[in-house]
């Protein structure tokens, strides 16, 4: 009897996530059994199994970062209100302030 | 893939009807040939563009003016390569091996977006690529969150999230130049002048949505013109606020229609850029990649595992 | 040619010479590693190598901050003045760090050698009497585990990968290992830094520890003949980097490109 890792997708646009393991003699059986071991309450739209022996894990401390990597994250960029204002003032100082007609700003997903 | 024919007009009609109802297609489902082909073409071009987009910016990691910019540019280019990595996988799920796509790309046979055929001259180009070109990509990529091929839509969720970081990265560089010395400001203005037409080209001709096969087949959800207008809406005011001039004298926002008027870009020039002889910048970037690829032939099986095609 | 209002501290003190050597090694090897971004032999490896490049730049920044240690108001500007504003002969990295990436086998060989060096250097610095130095070394040691794993991964695979990959790795190591001895040349006033406890061990001992860590792995891989002798001299071509003598690979290739934009706009904000 081998164990199988079970993965499921809750919604069509969600990632496959690990939901548990089950015992089964082979992959074919694991696929049949997983439906009721892990998805009997309508937990997902798609699932998969993988023999536990093919499921490799890494020492999780390798993911714990000790050094600041905020330059890779949105949080690494801030103060946009002030920076935009500084640029506007610099434009005015250069005599390049611009008052042309423009749309009312909408909130943009990436905007600070 | 099932043994059923992929050319079945009745099933095809049913398939299209399901797409119209918002159905998302999974790789293991039956799909018409046209759907598969259009998706592969589009997704492969997207992935190629992420790689070719990394190269012009990459040239500036070595030259970045501060250590902060050096590492954040390196991280940003890394994300572009990361996007290529995710997106090639989507095309692979439709049956096109990554190695084949990669080899076609470096052999000059792969298509990619026009904006990545141009050379870079100054740090102002880094600002324009990071904010305006990336901004154009964000606008079109956000529209892909609704694409009908489920693995593509899932990957786009992550890509779009990372692009929000790139948006800030780009705006930050742009604002620093705009509020900097006169030389820095000029550097930025000149780069904007260079990038204006390529960006207008980027969205494509104003082909009506109902005539666009990519829309008909649920690859894209929005017309070229709608995307171009959204970009103008977001980015033109930002440039004006910084005192940066947009080089099209006809460009104006009409509050009545909510639409921007602009000078029609030269579409023949776009065709020349993407379909004609490669630009000097593209030729040298590809030549160099070919050289590296050939030189490292001994390494490929080690680094990627044996080629399944060769093993079979 | 730094910003007019920015006065860097005196860099000739033993502490600053020691820290500059560490920081410059990180910056220049990181700069060279960034070469592979967008052109590495696989997309996965591209992502891995970019992180290695970023870590070099990032770690250099952290060490430069210790060089400055409260002497300037604007730390970012001070870091850039150190990283990008010095003349070539003020850089203290070992010459092996400035060599071009050549091909991927050379690059991997160099990273393997540098990473084993960095591991013993950081381990020793964790015992520094300078608390800031010790604390940063502990942090970076953790970070550095990934570099070691990554380097060992490809080292092993090239060794097992058949004649050509093993031969190419051998060629790379044969170029890197003699030049790597330049990593262990003493900085100016090293004796003072050792006496102060800033450096828990001097370069001779550091070199011994590095050899103890690298030699068994080289021998197992069939590269016993490449293990540098305990008393081997640094080849002339790779000597005196720690005293600011650099080759054209730095003076003509890296330095002008890396620093030009910074130098052309004194005092500018980016």
pLDDT of B276-297, one tens digit each?
Answer: 999 999 999 999 999 999 999 9
Q: Given this structure, which CATH class describes domain B26-302?
A: mainly alpha
The whole-number pLDDT of residue B137 equals 95
Confidence label for B312 from pLDDT (cuts 50, 70 and 90): very low
Average pLDDT of the residues in C65-80: 95
C55 chain-A contacts, CB cut-off 8 A: 67
Average pLDDT of the residues in B240-255: 96
Whether the predicted pLDDT of B2 surpasses 60: no
Q: Is B75 on the interface with C (CB under 8 A)?
A: yes
Q: Is B158 on the interface with C (CB under 8 A)?
A: no
Tokens at residue B50, please? 């992420």
Average pLDDT of the residues in C97-109: 96
Of all residues in chain A, the one with the smallest CA distance to B147 is A13
User: Which positions 80-109 of B are in contact with C (Cβ < 8 Å)?
Assistant: 80-82, 84-85, 88, 98
Average pLDDT of the residues in B156-173: 94
Cα distance between residue B34 and residue B6, in whole Å: 9
Percent of chain B clearing pLDDT 70 (strictly above)? 96
Return the higher-pLDDT residue of A23 and C6.
Answer: A23
Domain A2-56 has CATH 3.10.20.520: yes
Of all residues in chain A, the one with the smallest CA distance to C148 is A62
The whole-number pLDDT of residue A109 equals 45
- The dihedrals phi and psi of B253, each to the nearest 5 degrees, come to -95, 130
Confidence label for C269 from pLDDT (cuts 50, 70 and 90): very high
Whether the predicted pLDDT of C174 surpasses 50: yes
Q: Is C262 on the interface with A (CB under 8 A)?
A: no
Percent of chain B clearing pLDDT 90 (strictly above)? 91
Confidence label for A1 from pLDDT (cuts 50, 70 and 90): confident
Looking at every residue in chain C, the average pLDDT score rounds to 96
Q: Which residues contact A43 (CB under 8 A, 6 or more apart)?
A: A8, A10, A19
Show the DSSP H helices in chain C as ranges.
14-33, 43-68, 75-84, 95-98, 104-125, 131-160, 163-180, 190-196, 203-220, 248, 255-264
The whole-number pLDDT of residue C151 equals 97
Going by C-alpha positions, the residue among B307, B179, B193 that lies closest to residue B251 is B193
C146 chain-A contacts, CB cut-off 8 A: 62
Cα distance between residue C53 and residue A3, in whole Å: 40
Confidence label for A107 from pLDDT (cuts 50, 70 and 90): low
The whole-number pLDDT of residue C2 equals 44
Chain B nearest C-alpha distance from C168 (Å): 9
Cα distance between residue C18 and residue B65, in whole Å: 25
Cα distance between residue B152 and residue B148, in whole Å: 8
DSSP letters spanning B79-133: HHHHHHHHHHHHHHTTT--HHHHHHHHHTT-S---GGGGS---SHHHHHHIIIII
Sorted by where each begins, the domain ranges of chain B are 26-302
Whether the predicted pLDDT of C176 surpasses 70: yes
Average pLDDT of the residues in C77-92: 97
Whether the predicted pLDDT of B311 surpasses 60: no
Strands B252-254 and B259-261: antiparallel
Average pLDDT of the residues in B185-199: 98
Of all residues in chain C, the one with the smallest CA distance to B87 is C43
For domain C14-222+246-264, give the CATH superfamily: Ferritin, core subunit, four-helix bundle (1.20.1260.10)
User: Which positions 218-277 of B are in contact with C (Cβ < 8 Å)?
Assistant: none
User: Which positions 43-62 of A are in contact with C (Cβ < 8 Å)?
Assistant: 61-62
pLDDT of A41-100, one tens digit each?
Answer: 989 999 999 999 999 998 888 888 889 989 999 888 999 999 999 999 999 999 999 889
Sorted by where each begins, the domain ranges of chain A are 2-56, 62-93
pLDDT of A13-48, one tens digit each?
Answer: 999 999 999 999 999 999 999 999 999 998 999 999
Q: Is this prediction's ipTM beyond 0.85?
A: yes
The whole-number pLDDT of residue A104 equals 83
CA distances (Å), C11 to each of C14, C71, C94, in order?
A: 8, 11, 18
Q: Is C243 on the interface with A (CB under 8 A)?
A: no
Q: Is A64 on the interface with C (CB under 8 A)?
A: yes
The whole-number pLDDT of residue B309 equals 60
Average pLDDT of the residues in B251-277: 95
DSSP letters spanning A4-66: EEEEEESSTTSPPEEEEEEEESSHHHHHHHHHHHHSTTS--SEEEEEEGGG-----GGGG---
Q: Are B251 and A98 in contact (CB under 8 A)?
A: no
C152 chain-A contacts, CB cut-off 8 A: none
Mutant choice from B67, B92, B297, B306 vs C, greatest count of C C-beta within 10 A: B67
The whole-number pLDDT of residue C164 equals 95
Confidence label for C107 from pLDDT (cuts 50, 70 and 90): very high
């Amino acid at each position: 009897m081998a164990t199988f890792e079970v993965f499921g997708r809750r919604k069509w646009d969600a990632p496959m996530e690990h939901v548990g393991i089950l015992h089964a003699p082979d992959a074919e059986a694991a696929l049949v059994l997983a439906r009721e071991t892990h998805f009997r309450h309508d937990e997902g739209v798609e699932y998969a199994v993988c023999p536990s022996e093919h499921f490799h894990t890494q020492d999780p401390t390798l993911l714990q970062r000790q050094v600041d990597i905020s330059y890779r994250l949105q949080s690494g960029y801030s103060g946009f209100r002030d920076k935009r204002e500084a640029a506007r003032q610099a434009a005015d100082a250069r005599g390049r302030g611009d008052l042309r007609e423009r749309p009312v700003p909408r909130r943009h997903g990436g905007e600070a | 893939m099932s043994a059923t024919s992929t050319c079945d007009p009745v099933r095809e009609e049913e398939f299209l009807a399901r797409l119209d109802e918002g159905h998302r297609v999974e790789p293991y489902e039956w799909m018409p040939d046209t759907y598969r082909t259009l998706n592969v073409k589009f997704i492969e071009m997207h992935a190629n563009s992420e790689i070719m987009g990394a190269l012009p910016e990459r040239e500036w990691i070595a030259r970045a003016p501060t250590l902060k910019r050096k590492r954040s540019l390196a991280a940003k280019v890394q994300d572009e390569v990361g996007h290529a990595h995710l997106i090639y996988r989507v095309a692979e799920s439709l049956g096109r091996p990554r190695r084949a796509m990669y080899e076609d790309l470096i052999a000059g046979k792969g298509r990619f977006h026009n904006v990545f055929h141009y050379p870079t001259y100054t740090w102002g180009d880094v600002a324009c690529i990071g904010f305006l070109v990336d901004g154009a990509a964000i606008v079109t990529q956000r529209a892909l969150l609704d694409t009908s091929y489920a693995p593509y839509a899932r990957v786009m969720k992550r890509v779009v999230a990372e692009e929000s970081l790139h948006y800030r990265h780009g705006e930050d560089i742009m604002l620093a130049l705009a509020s900097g010395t006169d030389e820095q400001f000029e550097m930025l203005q000149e780069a904007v002048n260079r990038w204006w037409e390529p960006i207008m080209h980027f969205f494509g001709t104003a082909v009506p949505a109902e005539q666009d096969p990519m829309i008909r087949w649920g690859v894209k959800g929005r017309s070229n013109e709608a995307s171009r207008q959204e970009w103008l809406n977001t980015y033109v005011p930002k440039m004006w606020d910084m005192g940066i001039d947009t080089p099209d004298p006809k460009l104006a926002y009409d509050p009545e229609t909510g639409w921007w008027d602009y000078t029609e870009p030269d579409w023949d020039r776009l065709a020349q850029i993407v379909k004609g002889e490669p630009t000097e910048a593209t030729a040298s970037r590809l030549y160099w990649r070919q050289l590296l690829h050939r030189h490292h032939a001994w390494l490929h099986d080690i680094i990627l595992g044996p080629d399944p095609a060769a093993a079979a | 040619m730094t910003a007019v209002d920015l006065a860097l501290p005196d860099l000739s003190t033993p502490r600053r010479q020691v820290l500059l050597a560490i920081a410059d090694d990180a910056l220049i090897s990181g700069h060279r590693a960034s070469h592979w971004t967008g052109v590495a032999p696989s997309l996965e490896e591209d992502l891995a190598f970019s992180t290695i490049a970023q870590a070099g730049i990032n770690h250099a920044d952290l060490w430069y901050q210790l060089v400055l240690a409260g002497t300037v108001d604007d730390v970012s500007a001070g870091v850039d003045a150190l990283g990008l504003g010095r003349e070539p002969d003020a850089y203290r990295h070992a010459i092996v760090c400035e060599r071009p990436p050549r091909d991927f086998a050379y690059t991997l060989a160099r990273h393997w050698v540098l990473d084993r060096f960095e591991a013993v250097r950081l381990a020793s610095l964790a015992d520094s009497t300078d608390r800031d130095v010790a604390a940063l070394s502990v942090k970076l040691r953790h970070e550095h585990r990934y570099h070691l794993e990554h380097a060992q991964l490809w080292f092993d695979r090239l060794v097992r990968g058949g004649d050509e990959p093993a031969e190419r790795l051998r060629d790379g190591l044969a170029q890197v290992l003699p030049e790597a001895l330049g990593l262990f040349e003493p900085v100016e006033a090293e004796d003072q830094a050792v006496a102060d406890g800033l450096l828990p061990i001097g370069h001779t001992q550091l070199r011994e520890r590095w050899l103890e860590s690298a030699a068994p792995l080289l021998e197992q891989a069939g590269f016993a003949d490449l293990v540098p002798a305990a008393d081997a001299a640094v080849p002339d071509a790779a000597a005196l980097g720690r005293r600011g003598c650099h080759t054209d690979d730095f003076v003509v290739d890296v330095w002008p490109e890396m620093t030009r934009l910074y130098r052309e706009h004194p005092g500018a904000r980016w």
